[in-house]
Structure 1
Amino acid sequence: MFRGRPRHRTYLLMPHLPASIVPTLLPFAPLFTAPTWRHVQVLLTGTLLAQGPRTVAAALRVMGLGHAPRFERYHRVLSRGRWSGVQGSQILLGLLIALLPPGWPLLIVVDETLERRKGARIAAKGMYRDAVRSSKSRVVTCLGLQWICMALIVPLPWSRRPWALPFLTLLAPSQRANVAAGKAHRTVIDWTLVMVRLVARGLTRRRWVLVGDGSYSCVRLGWECLSAQAALISRLRLDARLFGPPAPVPPGRRGPKPKKGPPLAKLATRLEEARTHGTETTVQWYRGETKTLRLLSGVCLWHTPGWPPLPIRWVLVVDPADPLAAEAFFTTDLTVPSVRVIEWFVLRWSIEVTFAEVRRHLGVETQRQWAAKAIARTTPALLALFSIVCLMVHRLREHWASLPRSTAWYFKPQATFSDCLALVRRTIWAEGNYVNSLADQDQVVISRPAWERVLAQLAATA
C-alpha cells in the first residue's frame, strides 16, 4: 500500500523480545541497518519496561546495560541515526488500518499538543497556551515544544470506545525560533497541509476523513483535503461568510463567471429556526452515551478572501435542554449525513485521552535530549509506541477477557492503556526471562542476570 525504499538485509532479534510480539516489530526492521536495529530493540524494550522518566539511560539500566562501555551508540540512534520517521509512520499506518473492522470509515484525527520543555539548547521552543492547565476563565501559557499529531480512530475489542492511535507526529517550531534560524515560519495549518500530503501519498485512491477542532477550520485546508481524496470535518464559526450557488450565466455573456451567489444569513441568526424547525436526532455522545439534539443542515459555499469558495455541508446543533448551547460544524463531503458529522467529530476527543495516557504511562515530557534531531524523533517515537503497544496486545487474543486489572475494592468494566502496557510488560518479563522453566513445574527457573534486573527495577525509585 505504501511506497518506500526498504533495505534488504538479514535482521536478528534480541533474545529479550518474546516470540508473541516479534511479528509486530518486524515490519519496521527495513528502516534500519542491522547494528542500529539491534540497538532499537534494546531501547524499545527498555522504554516499555522502565518506570518514571523515559531516557536512554533509564532504558539501558532496566535492560541490565548500565555498565555497557559503548553506551553512546544507543544515544546515536536518535541523534545521528540515518533512518526515516516518515517511512516508519507509513508502515505504522498500514498496520493500524489492518485492525479496522469491515465497514468502519477511515477516520484520522489531527490535533496539536504541548510538550513542556525548557533549556537554552532547545532551539524550537516557544510560549504556548497550555490546554491542560487553562480554563475558560484563565489562560495559562507555558514554555515548550508544539507537536502536531495525526491518529487513526480504531475500535478495539477490549474497549467500548474507539481509541485514537498516533502514527505521524511533526514538530512545529515557534515563530521566534524560525526567525532566529533564518527560516520561513510555518503555521499549524502549513504543517497540517504537509501531513495531509504525506498521508494521501500512501493512501492511493482511498477515501478518508480528517477531523480537527476549530484550529483546522480553514478554506485552504478544505481544498487541500479535496485534492487528497479526503473530507474535512471541523467546527464552523457562527458568523462564517456563507453564500448560495452562483446564478446561471446567460448565453453569450462575456467576462469572468461569478464564483458565488448571494450571501446567506449568518448561522448565529438561525438558532431559533434550529430550535423550532430542526430535526430532533439521537446521536452517539461522549463516554459512550446518547444525546438528543436538534440539527439544522444545509449546503452552501464558504468564502474566505484570497481563496475560491469552498462547497460545504454545514450543521447547526442546538441542545433542547440547554437554550444557550449552540455549535456549528461542517464537512467538505456533501453526501455525509448530518448525524455522522456530529458523531465523527465527537470521536475526536479520543486523541486528548491519548495525549494524557502517553504523558502518564510512556514518559512524554521526561526525555532529556538536547540534539535537534533527537528532540524531533523522541516524542514522535513515544507517541507511536502507544500504537505499537496496542498492536502487540491485539495479537495476545487469549488475554482480552482478563485484560482489565480489577481488584476486590474496584471493578474495572473495561481495559485502559495502563492494562495494555501491563500485559506487554508481563509478557516481556515472563517470556524473556523464564524461558528455561517448564509449564508443569511449581518452581520457576530464572537466570542470575535476569534476577538482578528484576531486583534493580523493583528497588529503583519512581
Structure 2
Amino acid sequence: MSFNLPVEIISILLPFAGLFSKKVWNYVQIMLIGAILATGKRTVTSILEVMGLSAESNFQNYHRVLNRAVWSNLQASKILLTTLVMTFIPCGIVVCGIDDTIERRKGKKIKAKGIYRDPVRSSHSHFVKVSGLRWLSMMLLVEIPWAKKVWGLPFFTTLAPSERYHQQLQHRHKKLTDWARQMIFQVRRWLWNRELVVVADSSFTCLELLSSVSQTTSTSMITRLRLDAALYEPAPSRPTGTMGRPRLKGTRLPNLEQILIDADTQWSKITLSNWYGEANRPVEMSTGVAVWYHTGLPVVPIRWVLVRDPLDKFRPQALLCTNQRYQSQQILEWFSRRWQIEVTFEEARRHLGMETQRQWSDLAIARTTPLILGLFSLVTLLAHRLQANFTWTTRQKSWYVKSLPTFSDALALVRRFLWASTFSISSKPTDIIKVPCSLFNRLRDLAIYAA
C-alpha cells in the first residue's frame, strides 16, 4: 500500500526516512499516523483498524517493523533531539530532565520485568508493589511558545532491566545511575557545541554520577541534596615538596540542618516565576559553595541552595548544582521544571496509550515504549508546525475553563488536520449534506479528543 502524507507532516518526518529502507519507511508512516489517530490501545492491530487496513492480508509486515526490521533507536533519538533543539532552543543553554517510570506489564515472556515500588499508588505510609518494566527517559525541558509553559519533551528512552534479569543471564547488574551516566554522556556527544544542564530527583544524587558529570566539558547536574550531607571547604593549596598523598578536602562545614536553624543564617527573599505550577511564588533561600565528600567516594565541588517557604506550605529542602558559577535563583528555576517529567508520563498514558501495547518480543519491547514517548514530542512538533496556519480551539466545558492549549489540544489539532486532509464535507450551501454540520463536528470532536 502506497501512502502520501501532506507536506506539513512530511516536512517533520523526512529526517527520519534515512533510518529505514524504502519499503519499511512506507509501513512506518502508516503506523505513525495510525498511532496518532487511534484511541484506546496502541497495538499494531488497532493502528491498522483506524487506518482502514483491517483486511490487510500482509499484516505481519507491520509487526516486523518493531520485532525484526533493521533500524536504530539511538539514531532516531539523535534526530529527534536535533529537531527539537533547532525548533525550540536554537541558542543558549539546553536544559534536560532525566527520570525513570514503571510500565506495568505481566507475562512469562516479558523477560526484563521486575517487581518495583509503584510511584503512583504508593505514599510515605503505604507501599504498593507492581510488576513491570523500568524505563529511564531523558526529556528536553523547554517553554512551548503557544502554551506559554514548560513541557517535558522525551527524546531518549532506554530499558533498565531488573536485577533478577541480569542474574538469570549471569551478567553484572547495571544500576539506574550507570544508565543515567551513559545517557548523559551520549547526549553530550550529540550536543557537543552546546552547554548542557541535567535536572534529576534524589534517586540520582550519587557521588560517582555527579563526579563523572562535573568532569565533563560544559555539562552540569542539578539534584536534591540531603540536609545531613557532609560538606567541607576545598582542600588547601599544597606547598611544593610536601610528602604524602594530597588532601581531598578542607575543614568540615556545618550541616545544612544546622544552617537551617541558625539565627545568623542570611536568607534572601526571591520570587520564582514558576514553582511547581504556582506563578510568582515567594521563597527564601540561602546558598554557598562547598565540596561534598564521603569516605571512599569521589569529591564533588558543588553549589548548595537551601530553600524554605515563608508560607509554610512545603518543608525546607536543599538542592545542589555541580557548576558553582550558576546563580542560585537560576538553579531553583531550572529544578522546578523537573515536575513536567511526571506530567509527560501521565499525558503519555492518558492520551497516547502508553502501557496498552502488547508486544512480547524482546526487540519490540525495547522499541515500542520509547516510540510512544517520542510520539509525545513528535505531536508537539507537528502542532507547532500547524499552529501558524490553523486556529487553536481549546476544548472548554462549563466546569473547566482554560485559556491556553494543553497537550490534548495539540493532539486534537494534529488529528483534526489529518482527518481534514483525508476527507471533508462541502462548504457550499446549495450542496446536499446527508450529515448535519453540527452532528459531524460533534462526532469529529469526539474522535480527536478521545484518549
Instruction: Mark yes or no: TM-score above 0.5.
Output: yes
**Residue equivalent to 1:335:** 325
Does the Cα contact within 8 Å between 2:265 and 2:286 map onto a contact in 1? Answer: no
**Structure 2 CA distance, aligned partners of 1:197 and 1:127?**
28
Q: Give the match's secondary structure for 1:192.
A: helix
Q: Give the match's secondary structure for 1:394.
A: helix
After TM superposition, the structure 1 = structure 2 runs for residues 248-263 of structure 1, keeping only pairs within 5 Å, are 248-263=237-252
- Residues 364 and 307 (structure 1), Cα distance of their counterparts in 2 relative to 1, 3 Å cut: same
**Structure 2 CA distance, aligned partners of 1:428 and 1:445?**
21
Q: Give the match's secondary structure for 2:203.
A: helix
Structure 1 residue 94: Cα displacement: 0.5
Structure 1 residue 379: Cα displacement: 0.3
Q: Give the match's secondary structure for 1:209.
A: strand
- Which of these residues, 384, 398, 413, is aligned with residue 394 of structure 1? 384
Structure 1 residue 64: Cα displacement: 1.1
**Structure 1 CA distance, aligned partners of 2:432 and 2:416?**
15
- Residues 66 and 445 (structure 1), Cα distance of their counterparts in 2 relative to 1, 3 Å cut: farther
Find out whether 1:320 has 2:304 as its counterpart.
no
After TM superposition, the structure 1 = structure 2 runs for residues 290-439 of structure 1, keeping only pairs within 5 Å, are 290-322=280-312, 325-398=315-388, 401-407=391-397, 410-434=400-424
**Structure 1 CA distance, aligned partners of 2:146 and 2:414?**
15
Q: Give the match's secondary structure for 1:201.
A: helix
- Residues 323 and 48 (structure 1), Cα distance of their counterparts in 2 relative to 1, 3 Å cut: closer
**Residue equivalent to 1:84:** 72
- Which of these residues, 16, 21, 36, is aligned with residue 24 of structure 2? 36
**Structure 1 CA distance, aligned partners of 2:157 and 2:387?**
29
Q: Give the match's secondary structure for 1:350.
A: helix
**Residue equivalent to 1:3:** none
After TM superposition, the structure 1 = structure 2 runs for residues 207-222 of structure 1, keeping only pairs within 5 Å, are 207-222=195-210
Find out whether 1:283 has 2:262 as its counterpart.
no
Question: Which amino acid letter does the alignment assign opposite residue 39 of structure 1?
Answer: Y
Structure 1 residue 157: Cα displacement: 2.1
- Residues 221 and 66 (structure 1), Cα distance of their counterparts in 2 relative to 1, 3 Å cut: same
Question: Which amino acid letter does the alignment assign opposite residue 148 of structure 1?
Answer: L
TM-superposition CA deviations, 1:146-199 (whole Å, max 9, x none): 000000012112213210000000000000111112222111101101101210
**Structure 2 CA distance, aligned partners of 1:442 and 1:101?**
49
Structure 1 residue 13: Cα displacement: 7.4
Does the Cα contact within 8 Å between 1:274 and 1:317 map onto a contact in 2? Answer: no
Q: Give the match's secondary structure for 2:226.
A: coil
**Structure 2 CA distance, aligned partners of 1:331 and 1:411?**
38
After TM superposition, the structure 1 = structure 2 runs for residues 256-271 of structure 1, keeping only pairs within 5 Å, are 256-271=245-260
Structure 1 residue 307: Cα displacement: 3.2
Question: Which amino acid letter does the alignment assign opposite residue 105 of structure 2?
Answer: R
Q: In angstroms, what is the RMSD of aligned CA positions?
A: 2.5
**Residue equivalent to 2:153:** 165
Q: Give the match's secondary structure for 1:325.
A: coil
**Residue equivalent to 1:14:** 3
**Structure 2 CA distance, aligned partners of 1:343 and 1:231?**
15
**Structure 2 CA distance, aligned partners of 1:442 and 1:311?**
75
Structure 1 residue 440: Cα displacement: 5.8
**Structure 1 CA distance, aligned partners of 2:173 and 2:93?**
34
Question: Which amino acid letter does the alignment assign opposite residue 282 of structure 2?
Answer: T
**Structure 1 CA distance, aligned partners of 2:392 and 2:313?**
44
**Residue equivalent to 2:121:** 133
Does the Cα contact within 8 Å between 1:160 and 1:288 map onto a contact in 2? Answer: no
Structure 1 residue 320: Cα displacement: 2.2
Find out whether 1:272 has 2:261 as its counterpart.
yes
Question: Which amino acid letter does the alignment assign opposite residue 190 of structure 2?
Answer: G
Find out whether 1:224 has 2:209 as its counterpart.
no
**Structure 1 CA distance, aligned partners of 2:182 and 2:429?**
56
Structure 1 residue 308: Cα displacement: 2.8
**Residue equivalent to 2:437:** none
Structure 1 residue 281: Cα displacement: 1.5
Does the Cα contact within 8 Å between 2:234 and 2:290 map onto a contact in 1? Answer: yes
What TM-score, normalized to structure 2?
0.91
Question: Which amino acid letter does the alignment assign opposite residue 255 of structure 1?
Answer: G
After TM superposition, the structure 1 = structure 2 runs for residues 169-188 of structure 1, keeping only pairs within 5 Å, are 169-188=157-176
Does the Cα contact within 8 Å between 1:161 and 1:288 map onto a contact in 2? Answer: no
Find out whether 1:120 has 2:108 as its counterpart.
yes
Find out whether 1:206 has 2:232 as its counterpart.
no
Aligned residues: 439
TM-superposition CA deviations, 1:274-308 (whole Å, max 9, x none): 78521122223121412222211111111133333
Structure 1 residue 411: Cα displacement: 2.7
Structure 1 residue 19: Cα displacement: 2.4
Tell me the percent identity: 43
Question: Which amino acid letter does the alignment assign opposite residue 365 of structure 2?
Answer: I
Question: Which amino acid letter does the alignment assign opposite residue 395 of structure 2?
Answer: R
- Residues 407 and 324 (structure 1), Cα distance of their counterparts in 2 relative to 1, 3 Å cut: closer
TM-superposition CA deviations, 1:324-355 (whole Å, max 9, x none): 82100000111111111111111000111000
Does the Cα contact within 8 Å between 1:301 and 1:312 map onto a contact in 2? Answer: yes
Higher mean displacement: 246-255 or 188-197: 246-255
Q: Give the match's secondary structure for 1:340.
A: helix
**Structure 2 CA distance, aligned partners of 1:393 and 1:189?**
34
**Structure 1 CA distance, aligned partners of 2:431 and 2:9?**
25
**Structure 2 CA distance, aligned partners of 1:145 and 1:39?**
27
Q: Give the match's secondary structure for 2:149.
A: coil
**Structure 2 CA distance, aligned partners of 1:292 and 1:168?**
34
Structure 1 residue 382: Cα displacement: 0.2
**Structure 2 CA distance, aligned partners of 1:133 and 1:384?**
25
Q: Give the match's secondary structure for 1:199.
A: helix
TM-superposition CA deviations, 1:85-109 (whole Å, max 9, x none): 0000000001110122566531000
TM-superposition CA deviations, 1:368-393 (whole Å, max 9, x none): 00100000100000000000000001
**Structure 2 CA distance, aligned partners of 1:274 and 1:105?**
37
Question: Which amino acid letter does the alignment assign opposite residue 267 of structure 1?
Answer: L
Q: Structure 1 segments of 4 or more deviating over 6 A?
A: none
**Structure 1 CA distance, aligned partners of 2:264 and 2:389?**
48
**Structure 1 CA distance, aligned partners of 2:152 and 2:287?**
28
Does the Cα contact within 8 Å between 1:90 and 1:202 map onto a contact in 2? Answer: yes
TM-superposition CA deviations, 1:244-271 (whole Å, max 9, x none): 1112223332222212112111111111
Does the Cα contact within 8 Å between 2:283 and 2:310 map onto a contact in 1? Answer: yes
- Which of these residues, 218, 235, 250, is aligned with residue 246 of structure 1? 235
- Residues 380 and 445 (structure 1), Cα distance of their counterparts in 2 relative to 1, 3 Å cut: farther
